[in-house]
Amino acid sequence: MKQTTPFDVPRIHRQSQPAACRIERPAPGTLCALAVVLGLLVVTAAPALGGDLESIDASPSTQPTLDAVEISFEEALAVPRISGSLYPRIHNKLQQAYPVAVEHLRNNPECRDLFAALGADGLEKLSITSYRQSTMTMERSLCRGGVSAVTVVECPQVRLCKRFASLGTVQAATTLIHEALHFAGMSEWPKDPQGLEPTEINKMVRKACGF
């Protein structure tokens, strides 16, 4: 078990990795080169859905996306950038959580400092992050075990797992900032032995961002 450090002085380790966003299914017995957020590890338990997401969300949302549209920085922050289509419940949760994440980044200098330590602007990272639906293959592999989102380090694309829809709004907003930190260059243990564990990143985000 890796030793942890007090959160009063959080460890932020930036690992240089290629910005390629192709997500590969990990080979058996190997560590995945992805930074993932574990929805089950957020302190507040996610409410039960009362049904199978696969049957509830049979038809992906057909909401228009922001791809290939020229918009200002403030306009980009107003709504999340969606690439392709999302299942309706995931789409709705993203629409609820995104402005909460933006608000907490705006209003908490300590939250923005997490990104500044990585040489990045948190609001900018959120504004250009592209949110996509996980694939069925990902749901059977990377999205298992309570994972709600998957991001390759330094990649602007976040894959939202079906579990994301079951998170509370605050949990989901924490997840969006957590994933934005991966986009900004924050690696994660165990892929990076010096990186923070998912629970540590979640705790750091909640404390710094005022959740």
Q: What is the pLDDT along the chain (211 residues), one digit of tens a residue?
A: 444 433 343 444 444 444 457 665 444 443 334 444 444 344 333 333 333 333 334 345 444 444 445 557 777 788 999 999 999 999 999 999 999 999 999 999 999 999 999 999 999 999 999 999 999 999 999 898 888 999 999 999 999 999 999 999 999 999 999 999 999 999 998 888 998 998 899 999 999 999 9
Phi, psi of 122, rounded to the nearest 5 degrees: -60, -40
SS3 state at 53:
helix
Threshold 0.85, pTM exceeds: no
User: Amino acid letter at 27?
Assistant: A
Cα 47 to Cα 43, 91, 166, 171, 201, distances in angstroms: 12, 17, 6, 11, 22
Q: Which residues contact 201 (CB under 8 A, 6 or more apart)?
A: 37, 178, 181, 186, 188
- C-alpha angle with apex 173: 23 to 146, nearest 5 degrees? 50
Structural domain spans, the chain: 85-208
pLDDT of residue 189: 87
pLDDT of residue 14: 46
